[in-house]
Amino acid sequence: MTAVRLLLEDSADKNQANTSGATPLLMACQHNSVPVVRLLLEARADQDQRLNCGAASLVLACRRNFPEVTHLFLKSEVEVEVDELESGPPPLFIACIRGHAKVVQLLLQARANRDQCTGGMSCLDIAQAQGHSRVADLLLKCKGSSCQSR
């Protein structure tokens, strides 16, 4: 963390990507490095940059079940409906597929669209199909603005 801080203070390019498209923020996200993600967000690193495969920071956090990193991105008002690729699933759908209940709850509180369909299935459909009853319950209990109070 000290090295990252020193590099930022020395005007290092916080958005420089490597050959796979990974920026410092994407790499910190992939490794669940909460302090580094926080520092880079405070330094206003670009949250919209993606890996060459198309994955955005929030997608990575949701896929890997990193609730703290997800929360940091949501606090910084990142787009919750970002998709993995042009036609890829949004973060909420990914979290529902994988049964990441805490991440699903955070996304619902940030008003992610629980009714959006991917491949003809809603988030609820996929959670139920995968046997993720806790996630399905969260989706069923979330109705519009009532998600905010959870």
User: pLDDT digits over 6-15, tens only?
Assistant: 766 767 788 8
Q: Which residue has the tokens 């198309």?
A: 54
Q: Provide the whole-model pTM.
A: 0.85
Range(s) of the domain holding residue 39: 2-149
Total domains, the chain: 1
Distances (CA, A) of 48 to 73, 76, 101, 128: 11, 12, 24, 31
Judge whether residue 145 has pLDDT over 80: no
Check which CATH number belongs to the domain holding 103 and give it: 1.25.40.20
Task: Quick: pLDDT tens for 81-93.
Answer: 765 555 468 899 9
